[in-house]
Structure 1
Amino acid sequence: MEKGDVLVEAQSLGRSFGAKRVLDNVSITLHAGEVTGFVGANGAGKSTTIQLMLGLLHGEGRTLFLGRRLHAWGAPGTVVGAVLGGVAGHPKHRVRTHLRMVAAGSAAPDRRVDELLETVGLTDAAHLRLAQLSLGMSQRVAIAQALLGDPPALILDEPANGLDPHAIRWLRDFLRSQADQGRAVLVSSHLLGEMEQLADRVVVLSRGRVVAASPMAQLLADAASRRVVTVQTPDLPKLAALVEARGGLLVPTGGQGANVQGLDRIQIGTLASDSGVPLYWLHEEGPSLEDFYLGIAEEEFTIS
Structure 2
Amino acid sequence: MSLTPSDDSTVDQQSGQKAIDSGLYIVATPIGNLADMSQRAVELLRAAELVAVEDSRVTGKLLHHLGLKKRMVRYNDHSSESDRERLLEAARSSVVVLVSDAGTPLISDPGYKLVRAAHEAGVTVRTAPGANAAIAALSISGLPTDRFLFAGFLPSKAKARDEAMADLAGVRATLVFYESGPRLATTLAALSSGLGNREAAVARELTKRFEELVRGNLLDLVERYKDQEPKGEIVLMIGPPEAEGVETGDVDAALTEALQNLPVSKAAAQVAKRFGLDRAELYARASAMKKAQ
- For the aligned pair, the TM-score class normalised by the smaller chain equals under 0.3
TM-score if structure 1 supplies the norm length? 0.27
Structure number with higher relative contact order (C-alpha < 8 Å, ≥ 6 residues apart): 1
